[in-house]
Structures are given as structure tokens and as C-alpha cells.
Amino acid sequence: MKKLCFVATSPFGVNPFLLGHLAVLAENYEVALCVNLDVYPLSENIDPRVKVIHIPIARKVTPFQDLNVLWCLIKIFHREKFDSVHSLMPKAGLLGMMASMMCRVPHRIHTFTGQVWASKVGWMRSVLKLFDLMIVVFATRVFSDSASQSAFLEKELGLSHPVGIMGKGSISGVDMDRFKPDPQGRLRKRKELGVTGSQFVFLYVGRIARDKGVFDLMDAFAKVYTKRQDVVLWMVGPDEEGLSDSLKHVASEANCAISWIGRTSTPEHYMAAADVYVLPSYREGFGLAVIEAAACETPALAYRIDGVIDSVDEGKTGLLVPLKDIEALAQGMSNLAASPDQIEAMGQEARQRVEKDFTAQAISGAWLEYYDTHVKTY
């Protein structure tokens, strides 16, 4: 039986992106996962057939620790003799592809899920782009999770060969049994958070980070709130950069109705209870949360950026506004809050689109087909 290894920086990315694929692949392959188990809890739902190996990899650049992780990976790959190593996330990609090339792993695969350097300028952008180019050089095959991201990478990195996509895009697809409309759950969650029947709920789900546009969202929501006080904003996700105090200060000065939820293992409960999902991110590989919300019949409002232009069918499943245009973001929020019929139509269209193109089964099937075609018969 062929042996596959996946390398990721944190379970925070593994839990939503990889669990389904690992389970499907474990039916026909020996599967291992190398990940840092100290930074975030790994889901208990991971398939028991998957061999989990701890590596002390850090998300940020830590030269001495990174060299130690590289050596750890080399020892693991040399001992296990994997037929394929597949990495996700920038640091895991650089170290995983370098170590697997040094160990002569025949199939070295990396999936890009967004570029850290896309929103950078100057020398930092150049250095981070170089790291991604090194990943491409070390790998035998690279993928991204959206058509627009693939085109962006091919242009920016000057690639002569295409960056592939699994299925129609998205790293994992959506579990349609988990993410779905839930009228009773909607009422319970809104009551739990003190929302009355007449209030309109905007929802953000994601990392609380600057490059996710969270300060833009605070400013835009404050503008909307000055005109109508029947709107509410739910902020759901981990505060990775210690921004909560600053954000709450901005919100308190505007006297806005904001609920700070923090981490959750059940984002679907909030998505099914909200009216519009807002993603003012500066960079995305695809925008998985957009289609998860769509499966709950919750349309999206987002910045028009690579990746998101693939997860939102503009005008049909949501609205897009120019990047960093806070006035346009606020106007979009106001327009949607005043258009319940449009939201209902967009929500229904959104779920139908996910059912057609982005189910978890479809994306896992594309992964399995790739491995069966290119690795199993090698």
C-alpha cells in the first residue's frame, strides 16, 4: 500500500480543510499527518487510521526552530519512506517540500491557499514571494484552491507550467449535512445572543487579524449603525494578533451593537442564524467560509479580490465591493439590510451553487482521483 504524508503548520488549518480528505484517502493508502500539536487542538474527528506525528513548526519565521523542524522532517521522511508528501500553509510548504526533495520523495505536492505577500509591499513582498517560488521549485506538482489564485500565481511568479485546481476549487468543499439552513437553530442562536426578530445580523467568521480587514469592518459597521440601530454584528474567530482590545475600543466609541464570540467549533450555528456573511479580507486563496455560509443560505458581502471572486458569484450569491473601500463596504451592508427579498433569493441561489460545485464529496473525490492516477500506479 502506498504511503502518503501531509504536512501542515497548525491543526487550525487541518480541522476545516483536511479531515475529510484524509479519511477518504485512508481507505486506499497509509496516511500520515505531520503537524504542530501544541498550538491548537487537533479535532477528535480525525480518522483513527491516520498516523499523527508532532513537529514543532511555527507559523512565523523562527530561523533556529525552522532548521530544527527541517531536520525533524528529513528524519521522518527518511525513516518512513513516503511515496508522496503533500504540504499546505506557507511554512509547512517551504520546509516540507525542501525536506521531501532532499529525501527524494517521488511525489512532492503543495497546495497554495492564499499568498501572505499579496498584501505586502517592498522588500518583505519580494522575500515572501521568493519563499513561494522555492516551494514551486522543490515540488513536483503545485495546486491552488481557486482559478483566480492559480492565474495570479502563474503571473506573479513567472511560471511556465500551470498551477492546478482540485475539482472546481476550494481546499475542502462543504459538508452539506453540517452546513445547512436550520430555522429552529436560527431562532435559538439569535435568542441566545439577545437578537430580536426585527434585528438584522451581519456575521464575520475567521481569524481576527489585520489582513482579514477587521478594522475596515468595524469602521463600515459603525457607519451603518449611525443610520439604523436595528443591525447587529457577530465577530467569530480566534484573536491571533491581540487585536480584540483595539477593536472593542473602536466599537465602544461608535456605541455599536457587536457580540464578540471568539473561537468556536460550530461556525455553522452562527452562519445559519445570520442574515449576511461579511468578509472584508485583503487576501484569500478561495474563501471557504463564504461557501460554508452559502450552504446555510446566507449570502456574502466581500472585497473583490482573487479567490473570493471564485467563491462569490457576484450579484447572484452575494455582493463584491472594491478592496479597502470602506464607504462601499458600508453602503453594501446598508443596501443588503434594506433588501430582505434580495437576501432570500441570493441565499437560495448560493446553496444551489454549493450543491452543484463545492460539496465535500466532490472535492475529496477529486483528490482521490489525483492520487489514484498519479501516485497509486507509480
Q: How far is Cα 138 from Cα 219, in angstroms, rounded to an integer?
A: 42
> In percent, how much of the chain has pLDDT > 90?
81
**Span 183-357: which CATH code?**
3.40.50.2000
Q: How far is Cα 203 from Cα 309, in angstroms, rounded to an integer?
A: 19
For residue range 186-209, what is the model confidence (pLDDT) as tens digits? 999 999 999 988 899 999 999 899
- The domain limits of the chain are 3-173+360-374, 183-357
Banded model confidence at residue 230, pLDDT cuts 50, 70, 90: very high
**Span 3-173+360-374: which CATH code?**
3.40.50.2000
pLDDT at 121: 86
Banded model confidence at residue 58, pLDDT cuts 50, 70, 90: confident
Is the model's pLDDT at 114 over the cut of 80?
yes
C-alpha cell read off for 62? 523562527
User: Between β-strands 258-262 and 51-54, what pairing exists: parallel, antiparallel or unpaired?
Assistant: unpaired
Is the model's pLDDT at 311 over the cut of 90?
yes
pTM beyond 0.85 = yes
pLDDT at 241: 83
Judge if 3-173+360-374 and 183-357 fold alike in CATH terms.
yes
In contact, 163 and 150? CB cutoff 8 Å: yes
Closest Cα to residue 224, out of 331, 317, 146, 88? 331
Query: Comparing 278 with 263, which gets the higher pLDDT?
Result: 278
Is the model's pLDDT at 254 over the cut of 80?
no
- Sole residue written with cell 511568479: 157
pLDDT at 48: 96
Q: For the chain, what is the mean pLDDT? A: 93
Least confident of 153-157, 247-251, 329-333, 344-348: 247-251
Q: How far is Cα 56 from Cα 370, in angstroms, rounded to an integer?
A: 30
